[in-house]
Structure 1
Amino acid sequence: MTARIYQRPKTAMQSGKALTDTWILEFEQSEARKPDPLMGWTGSGDTQAQVQLRFPTKDEAIGYARKYGIAARVHTPPARRLKLQAYADNFR
């Protein structure tokens, strides 16, 4: 059972940083998804893929994975750089 730990990125419609400070532990799929013959929806018998655990810090997420013997990969987001630009720069 493997998992990945990452910090939630902003959506395309989001300008602020709300809900981006939490860390998520998400289990990877162990079996492939297949379409349902009747409805056409995709699904699988893997119930762990539906589990998503949220933690306030990266260290708590890593500690949880170590405590329960979960092999986890940590994806650290790139540092955010603030690009300061004056309105007058548009007319140079």
Structure 2
Amino acid sequence: MHVRVLPLTAGPHRATQSGPFVILDFQAEGHRPAEPTTVYSEGLTGAVYLDKQAEVETYESAWNTLDDMVLSVEDSRDLMSALAKEYDDA
């Protein structure tokens, strides 16, 4: 598992408007066809499953943009180490 950090210097991102979400991709098994890609999102009053193409594409676009903005695994590790050291020294 890897952790990648979106630094505060990146500014706001549109994915923060949606709250946490998961993009679920399903593969076909045997004679059963694959289910459509589905977005799962939890909110204060419950969860929603979105599987319309336009909805899924909106979340995929947000994820891809976010993926482009985050630090690499190495840079994320360096930033977390520096912050931990700063916290320990305080």
Give the TM-score of the pair, scaled to structure 1.
0.25
Higher strand share goes to which structure? 1
- Report the structure, 1 or 2, having the larger helix content: 2
TM-score (norm 2): 0.26
